[in-house]
């Protein structure tokens, strides 16, 4: 199979459409993943002379070295977090950029590789680290976090209604064992909160998502990272962000709205009188979502939401 075959980039035509303009010459992709968006943007938009691809997962970078090789020196890859995008771009000696793409969350490659521990569909070590240079794994959290911390994580990041029951079951299980595998954790969750008859989701789905978000610290700092990314854009440059999780999308929406109106009025003022102009204009009043055909073709796209903003000054 060709590298990348079988993994479908979400909202692909929409993403290409927002960047399809003569101004798009230098782009940063902060979440390169399988390189699906990157390949399409490079192939369909020949005006892109420099495409900087960043991922915190070394496997993604290695895979994209092969997949994007046909584009030669138009592509530069960096193993880093997009939270440090400004430093990475500066290190490469690149000035302001014309386009930034962030397709947040986990890639289907990560989910499909049992040994990475992101999924309960195949048994593997409880790992879930996107960047394997990091020490903390899912096993660290599952075996060491106290019960209240587990409850908060499952409620907040997973919106798991049975968070208390699941956390209690984990704490009870670990009195006798170290919970080391995705399969074992999935069974503990399933026993504590069995699936109702009409439920589509596996009982462990939300718990696994919550753990992944916590292990990789995906939400705290996202707002600041988006502000940093906007700071890198040239006037007229665009940023597109795809979120899959409601908390994530809320941070994206709020950060772009704040950037649109950088009001400096004291909080007690009922209306804005400073008229401080924002740094961006939000181009998507409502998030762009996949159409029925894409949803049917790619169930992982279902919760995707794309928001786009343009730098003004
Ligand atoms: C949904 S996938 C991207 C898929 C990609 N757009 C494609 O078409 O193949 C998300 C990727 O972002 C990476 N990622 C998540 N958070 C990151 C961060 N803070 N910095 C860099 N990469 C990150 C993950 O490792 C994963 O490879």
**Alpha-carbon gap, residue 218 to 216, rounded angstroms:** 5
Q: How much is the pTM?
A: 0.94
> Are 302 and 283 members of one domain?
yes
Range of the domain at 224: 12-105+219-311
- 97: enclosing H helix or E strand: strand 97-103
Distance 37 CA to ligand 1 centre (A): 11
Say whether both 165 and 295 belong to one domain. Answer: no
Q: Is 308 exposed, middle or buried (0-12, 13-18, 19+ CB in 10 A)?
A: buried
CA distance linking residue 244 with residue 306, whole number of Å: 9
Residue 134 in domain: yes
For 14, residues 6+ apart whose C-beta sits below 8 A from its C-beta are 288, 306
Whether 66 and 196 map to the same domain: the answer is no
CA atoms of 4 and 19, how far apart (whole Å): 22
| pLDDT recorded at residue 4 | 46
With the most atoms of ligand 1 within 8 angstroms of its CB, the residue from 31, 40, 80, 306 to mutate is 31
- CATH of residue 46's domain is 3.40.50.150
| Residue 54 located in a structural domain | yes
Domain boundary among 198, 215, 232: 215
- Residue 40 CA: nearest ligand 1 atom is 8
Per-residue model confidence (pLDDT) at position 277: 78
Mutate to test the pocket of ligand 1, among 107, 132, 215 (most ligand atoms within 8 A of CB): 107
User: Could you tell me if residue 7 is inside a domain?
Assistant: no
Residues 97 and 232 in one domain: yes
Tell me, what's the pLDDT at 5? 45
Separation of CA 56 and ligand 1 centre (Å)? 7
Give the Å distance between the CA of 129 and the centre of ligand 1: 12
Interatomic CA distance for residues 156 and 171, integer angstroms: 19
Q: Structurally, how many domains does the chain consist of? A: 2
- List of residues 6+ apart from 26 with CB closer than 8 A: 48, 49, 50, 52, 94, 97, 98, 99
Coil vs helix vs strand at 103: strand
Residue 36 CA: nearest ligand 1 atom is: 8
Alpha carbon distance, N-terminus to C-terminus of the chain: 45
Q: Are residues 30 and 46 in the same domain?
A: yes
Classify residue 86 by burial, with Cβ atoms within 10 Å: 0-12, 13-18, 19+. middle
Pairwise CA distance, residues 13 & 294, whole Å: 11
CA 7 – ligand 1 centroid, Å: 13
The answer to whether 68 and 78 are in contact (CB under 8 A) is no
pLDDT tens for the chain, 313 residues long, are 344 445 899 999 999 999 999 999 999 999 999 999 999 999 999 999 999 999 999 999 999 999 999 999 999 999 999 999 999 999 999 989 999 999 999 999 999 999 999 999 999 999 999 999 999 999 999 999 999 999 999 999 999 999 999 999 999 999 999 999 999 999 999 999 988 877 788 899 999 999 999 999 999 999 999 999 999 999 999 999 999 999 999 999 999 999 998 777 777 877 777 777 799 999 999 999 999 999 999 988 999 999 999 999 7
pLDDT at residue 177, as a whole number: 97
Q: Name the residue of 33, 77, 89 to mutate for ligand 1: max ligand atoms within 8 A of Cβ.
A: 33
Q: Look at residue 6 in the predicted model and tell me its pLDDT.
A: 56
């Amino acid at each position: 199979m060709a590298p990348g075959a079988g993994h479908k980039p979400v909202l692909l035509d929409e993403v290409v459409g927002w960047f399809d303009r003569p101004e798009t010459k230098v782009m940063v992709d902060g979440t390169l993943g399988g390189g699906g968006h990157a390949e399409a943007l490079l192939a369909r938009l020949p005006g892109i002379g420099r495409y900087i691809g960043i991922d915190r997962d070394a496997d993604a970078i290695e895979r994209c070295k092969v997949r994007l090789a046909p584009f030669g020196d138009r592509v530069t890859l960096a193993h880093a977090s997009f939270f440090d995008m400004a430093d990475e771009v500066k290190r490469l000696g690149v000035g302001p950029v014309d386009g930034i793409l962030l397709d947040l969350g986990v890639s289907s490659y990560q989910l499909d590789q049992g040994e990475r521990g992101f999924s309960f569909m195949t048994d593997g070590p409880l790992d879930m680290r996107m960047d394997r240079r990091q020490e903390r794994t899912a096993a660290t959290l599952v075996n060491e976090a106290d019960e209240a911390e587990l409850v908060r994580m499952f409620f907040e990041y997973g919106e798991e209604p049975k968070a208390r029951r699941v956390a209690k079951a984990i704490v009870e299980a670990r009195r006798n064992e170290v919970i080391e595998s995705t399969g074992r954790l999935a069974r503990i969750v399933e026993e504590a909160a069995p699936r109702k008859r009409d439920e589509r989701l596996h009982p462990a789905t939300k718990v696994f998502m919550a753990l992944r978000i916590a292990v990789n610290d995906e939400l705290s700092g996202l707002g600041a990272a988006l502000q940093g990314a906007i700071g890198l854009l040239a006037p007229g440059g665009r940023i597109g962000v795809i979120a899959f999780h409601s908390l994530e999308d809320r941070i994206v929406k709020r950060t772009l709205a704040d950037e649109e109106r950088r009001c400096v009025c004291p909080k007690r003022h009922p209306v804005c009188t400073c008229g401080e102009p924002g740094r961006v204009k939000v181009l998507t009043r409502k998030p762009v979502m996949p159409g029925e055909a894409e949803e049917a073709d790619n169930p992982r796209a279902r919760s995707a939401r794309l928001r786009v903003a343009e730098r003004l000054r």
